[in-house]
Structure 1
Amino acid sequence: MNKQTLILVLNLLPFIALCQKMIAPGSPDINTSYLKPQKSLYTVYYVKDTSWTKKGTMTYDISYENNQLIFHYKYTDKSNEWSNIRTSIADAKTLRSISYQSESSGSKFNLDFGETIRGNYYSKKTKKDKILNLKSPGSFIDFNLADNMMTTLPLTVGYKGTFSQFYYDDNSDTLTSNYIIKEVKSYAYRSPKTGNHDTWLASVLEESTGAIYNYVIDKKDHRLWQREMSLGNGMWEICTNEELDYQPIKSQFNKEQAVQQITTGSSVITGTAYAKDNTGKKLGGLVNTAKKQFAPKGTEITLFPNSAYYEEWTAVNKKIKKQGKIPEVPLDSNFGAGIKKAKVYDDEGHFEFADLLPGTYVIMASFDFTNSYNYSYVTGYTNYYNYWGYTGSNTNYASARQHYRDQAHIEKRVTIDKNGEKKEVNLKDN
C-alpha cells in the first residue's frame, strides 16, 4: 500500500465507523447467555510464514456471582518465569464495566467504573502510587472482555459493527479506540482433538493502529477456537483453544475409590515377570532357542485397579490410533493417584504387591533382554565323479548362534476374590 492510499484509508476510517452499527454494553446484539461459566486454555504462538514459535499460554476463566460476570485472565510465558494477571467484573446481562484489576511484571493497578473512573496505579519500577480520577469516555467494552464479547454477537455473512474498547495506559491520555468488524464469512476450522467444525471467521480492524484481529468462532456454541492479531512485518500472534473440556471418555475415573483399593486391603499379589522362550525374532525360519528371560533386577512393575473408565479409555484410543486422524486421549489427570509401583527384587523376575482389596487389577511391565537363535549356513559343496564323469554333489552346512537385544511389553489382568487372599501370577510376554 503506498503512502497516499494509506492516508486516504485513515481519513475514511471515522466515516466507515459512523456508517456501521455501534455495539455497546446493553446492545441487543450482545447475548451473554453464550458466556458459560468455564475455564479455557489457549496456547500462544508467534507465527511468520510457516514458522510457529510457542510464546506461552493464557487462560480465560468465567464465573458469575450476584448478577455479575467475573472474568479472570492469566498469561504465562513459556518458561514460567513471569505472568500477567487481569480480572474484570461486568454486569452479567449488559457487559457494562464495574471494575478492573491488573498485575504484571511492571505495574499493578485497579479501576472502578462510573461517571468518573477512579483507581490506583502502582509502578513497580519507580515504586510510586498514582491516584486515578478519569472522566468516563462514554460507552465502551473493557478490552479484557473484548474477545468474549465477540462470541456473544449474532454473527452471519455480511455482519458489520463497531465497538469502542477501553484500555488504560499510564503513558497515554487516550482511553478508548474503535474496533471495526470488517468482514464475517464461513470458515472450516480443524481441531487436532475433535476434527472439523463449522465456524465464523470475523475480521476486525483496530482504528487507531491499523492492526487486524481475526476471530474463529463456532457457529453452534459460539466457542472461540482461535484468535489472531497482526504484529507487523508479516508476524502474527495466534492463540489456539486447547479444549480443556475435551473428554470423549464417558465413564468417570473415581480417584478416591482407586486409592482405597490399593492401600486399605490385606490381599497380596506376588509374581514372576519374564519373556517366553519363543519371544523375539524369527530369522530364516528358525526360532530363537534362548531359555526363559527374566525381567532384570530393579525392573519397575505397575499395578492399578481395572475399571470401566480404563476399559473405555483403552477402546477409544485403539479406535483413534487405527483411524490415525486425531491424537490419542490422555488419561485423567488424577489417574496416577491410583497407581502402585513395585520393583523386581532378584535375578529371577520376582515382585510383590500388598495392601490390596478384592477386585480386578491391571499389572504391567516393560523390560529389555538379550535373546539368541541358532541358524545354519552353507560352507561349501562336495562334488562326486566316476569313470564317466560328474555324478552329483552335496551341500555342506554349519551352524552358529546369534545374539540380539529384544524388548518385552506385558499387560495382565489379575482378580482377587476375597480380602486376605494371596495370589501368585506369571507375568509373561505373549
Structure 2
Amino acid sequence: MKIRILILVLNLLPFVVFSQKTIVPGSREINMSYLKTGKSLYTVYYVKDTSWVKQGSMTYDISFSNNQLNLFYKYTEKSNAWTTLRTSVADAKTLKSISYKSEGAKSKLDLNFGETITGNYYSKKDKKDKKLNLRPKGLYIDFNLAEHMFTTLPLDVGYKAIIPEFYYDNNSDTLISSYLIKEVKSYVFNSPRTGKHDTWLATVLEQSTGAIYNYVIDKKDRRLWQREMSMGKGMWEICVNEEIDYQPIKSQFNKEQAIQQITKGNSVIIGRAFAKSNSGKRLGGLVNTSKKQFAPKGTEITLFPNSAYYEEWISVNKKIKKQGKMPEVPLDPKFGACVKKAKVYDDEGHFEFADLMPGTYVVMASFDFTNSYNYSYVSGYTNYYNYWGYTGSSTNYGSARQSYRDKANIEKQVTIDKDGEKKEVSLKDN
C-alpha cells in the first residue's frame, strides 16, 4: 500500500509543478500599471556573514514611447574599470520582446525578436562576429526585464508561478531557463532614509542551476528595494536600492532664477569677516580680552540667494539630526551652480560681491584664528611673625596671557532692497 502511494505521489509531482501559473508575455497576471518611468540606482555588495564588500553599482532607466517599454541597464564596477550595458525593448502591454542589445568587457550582442531570433554576437577577444539565427521553444520573458516583471505580479502569501526566461550565452545551447517563484511572504524592509516599509519577500529558484534569488518588493508602490542572489559557500550578491528619488523637501529649487539673481544685477555687497570682538568668551571663568580677529587673507566667502527651498532644507535636516535615525538630506545637485565665491583680499577681512539683483542672500565664512585671554595664578605666600611667633600669611598672585586656537563659522542673511544699492555688512562671529 505504501509503495502504491509513493508511486502515485511521484506520478503527480510533475503535474503539481507544471500546473502552477506560467507567466509569459500577455499573461493576465502581469499588471503593467505597476511599472513606473524613471531611474533607480542600486549599490552592489558581496556579503558573507557580517562582511559587506562593495563591488559596484547598477542603474535602471525605464521609459515608455510608441507603445513600447524601454529598459536601460548599466553596471559600473567599483573602480570604474569596466561597465556592462543592456537595452531591452518590449511591447508596453504584453512585455513581448522586440529587441535586445548588450555590451560588456568581453562581447557585444544585438538581437531582434520574432518567430526566429536574429542578430549578431561579437567577441572582443577574438574580434570576430557570429551571426545568430535562434529558435527557442515556447514563450518567454527577456531576462533583462524579468526582475521588474516580478513587481507587476499579484504577489500574496502563498503565491507561486513559473517564469520561462530567455538568455543568450555563447558558451551554452540553453536559451530558456525556468524560474520558479517558490515562496512569497510579508516582510518589513528598513530603509536608512525613509524608515520601515511593508514589503513582499519573494524567493525565486532557478531550476537549472539551483540558484536562489530573494526579491524585496514594496506592497504599495511595487518598488524593488533589494535583490539577493546566492553565490555558494555562504556568499551572496546583494543589490540595495539607493532611493535617488528620495526628496522630503517639497519646495522646488529654481536654478535659472538663482543664477540670474547673482549675475544680472547692479548691486554690490561689501564687508568684513571677523570673530570675537570682545565677545566675553569665558574659559574656566576667565574672559577673552582679544579684539577683532579678522578672517585671514585668502579666506573664501560664500554667497547664494536665500529661498523657500533652502529654508526648508535647513528645517528638514535640523529635525533629522535631532532624531538621529537617518542621514541628512543633501542639497539639490543643481544648487552648486548658483553659489558665488569671493576671497578676503587684505589683512582686515575685507571682501566684496558684485552683479547682484535685489533680494535676500545668505553669506557664509569659515576660518581658524588665534585668541587669547588673561589669567591670574598663585605665585606664592608671605608669612608674618612677631615676638610670640606666627601671626598669619597673605597670598601672592601673578598674571599671564594664554593663547588658544578657535574656529569661526559665520552665516548671515543680507537683503538688497533696490537695484544699484551698495550694502555694507559685518560678518561677525558672535
Q: Which residue pairs with 1:359 in the alignment?
A: 359
Question: 1:172 aligns to what SS in structure 2?
Answer: coil
2:81 aligned with 1:81: yes
Q: Which amino acid aligns with 2:70?
A: I
More displaced 10-residue stretch of structure 1: 107-116 or 18-27: 18-27
- Whole-Å separation in 1 of the counterparts to 2:183 and 2:422: 70
- 1:81 CA drift (Å): 2.1
Q: Which residue pairs with 2:48 in the alignment?
A: 48
Taking structure 1 as reference, are residues 93 and 403 closer, same or farther at Cα in structure 2, changes over 3 Å only? same
- Whole-Å separation in 1 of the counterparts to 2:333 and 2:156: 38
Report the count of equivalent residues.
Answer: 420
Taking structure 1 as reference, are residues 282 and 142 closer, same or farther at Cα in structure 2, changes over 3 Å only? same
- Whole-Å separation in 1 of the counterparts to 2:405 and 2:154: 63
Q: Which residue pairs with 1:6 in the alignment?
A: none
Q: Which residue pairs with 1:64 in the alignment?
A: 64
2:307 aligned with 1:307: yes
Contact 1:375 1:402 in 2 (8 A): yes
- 1:12 CA drift (Å): 11
- 1:153 CA drift (Å): 0.9
- 1:79 CA drift (Å): 1.5
Contact 2:37 2:62 in 1 (8 A): yes
- Whole-Å separation in 1 of the counterparts to 2:349 and 2:204: 65
- 1:28 CA drift (Å): 1.4
Q: Which residue pairs with 2:170 in the alignment?
A: 170
Q: Aligned ranges for residues 317-328 of structure 1 at < 5 Å? A: 317-328=317-328
Taking structure 1 as reference, are residues 303 and 164 closer, same or farther at Cα in structure 2, changes over 3 Å only? same
Q: Which residue pairs with 1:5 in the alignment?
A: none
Q: Which amino acid aligns with 1:307?
A: S
Q: Which amino acid aligns with 1:376?
A: S
- 1:15 CA drift (Å): 6.5
Q: Which residue pairs with 2:123 in the alignment?
A: 123
Q: Aligned ranges for residues 241-320 of structure 1 at < 5 Å? A: 241-278=241-278, 282-320=282-320
Deviations 1:357-397 (A, max 9, x none): 11110000000001111112222222334455543332222
Q: Which amino acid aligns with 1:66?
A: N
- Whole-Å separation in 1 of the counterparts to 2:12 and 2:124: 40
- 1:48 CA drift (Å): 1.1
Taking structure 1 as reference, are residues 14 and 336 closer, same or farther at Cα in structure 2, changes over 3 Å only? farther
Deviations 1:93-141 (A, max 9, x none): 1211111111111111111112111111111111111111111321111
- 1:78 CA drift (Å): 1.3
- Whole-Å separation in 2 of the counterparts to 1:86 and 1:41: 15
More displaced 10-residue stretch of structure 1: 164-173 or 132-141: 132-141
2:362 aligned with 1:335: no
Q: Which residue pairs with 1:195 in the alignment?
A: 195
- Whole-Å separation in 1 of the counterparts to 2:78 and 2:262: 37
Contact 1:214 1:227 in 2 (8 A): yes
- Whole-Å separation in 1 of the counterparts to 2:281 and 2:25: 71
Q: Which amino acid aligns with 1:218?
A: D
Contact 1:268 1:420 in 2 (8 A): yes
Taking structure 1 as reference, are residues 296 and 308 closer, same or farther at Cα in structure 2, changes over 3 Å only? same
- Whole-Å separation in 1 of the counterparts to 2:320 and 2:187: 25
- Whole-Å separation in 1 of the counterparts to 2:78 and 2:163: 32
Q: Which amino acid aligns with 2:130?
A: K
- 1:21 CA drift (Å): 2.0
- 1:16 CA drift (Å): 6.2
* TM-score normalised by the chain length of structure 2: 0.95
- 1:165 CA drift (Å): 1.0
Identity of aligned residues (%): 78
- Whole-Å separation in 1 of the counterparts to 2:406 and 2:429: 12
2:101 aligned with 1:101: yes
Taking structure 1 as reference, are residues 393 and 207 closer, same or farther at Cα in structure 2, changes over 3 Å only? same
Deviations 1:204-237 (A, max 9, x none): 1111111110000001001000001111111111
Q: Which residue pairs with 2:5 in the alignment?
A: none
Deviations 1:5-51 (A, max 9, x none): xxxxxx99967642422122112111111001111111111111111
- 1:167 CA drift (Å): 0.5
More displaced 10-residue stretch of structure 1: 221-230 or 45-54: 45-54
2:120 aligned with 1:114: no
Contact 2:270 2:353 in 1 (8 A): yes
Contact 2:70 2:88 in 1 (8 A): yes
- Whole-Å separation in 1 of the counterparts to 2:382 and 2:51: 67
Give the superposed CA RMSD. Answer: 1.7
Contact 2:280 2:289 in 1 (8 A): no
Deviations 1:280-325 (A, max 9, x none): 9622201221121000000000000111110111111111111111
- Whole-Å separation in 2 of the counterparts to 1:97 and 1:281: 72
Q: Which residue pairs with 1:230 in the alignment?
A: 230
2:428 aligned with 1:428: yes
Question: 1:334 aligns to what SS in structure 2?
Answer: helix
Question: 1:367 aligns to what SS in structure 2?
Answer: strand
2:375 aligned with 1:375: yes
Q: Which residue pairs with 1:135 in the alignment?
A: 135
Q: Which residue pairs with 1:7 in the alignment?
A: none
Q: Which residue pairs with 1:216 in the alignment?
A: 216
Taking structure 1 as reference, are residues 326 and 279 closer, same or farther at Cα in structure 2, changes over 3 Å only? farther
- Whole-Å separation in 2 of the counterparts to 1:255 and 1:51: 41
Taking structure 1 as reference, are residues 12 and 48 closer, same or farther at Cα in structure 2, changes over 3 Å only? farther
Q: Which residue pairs with 2:406 in the alignment?
A: 406
More displaced 10-residue stretch of structure 1: 215-224 or 12-21: 12-21
Contact 1:277 1:288 in 2 (8 A): no
- 1:176 CA drift (Å): 1.1
Contact 1:280 1:406 in 2 (8 A): no
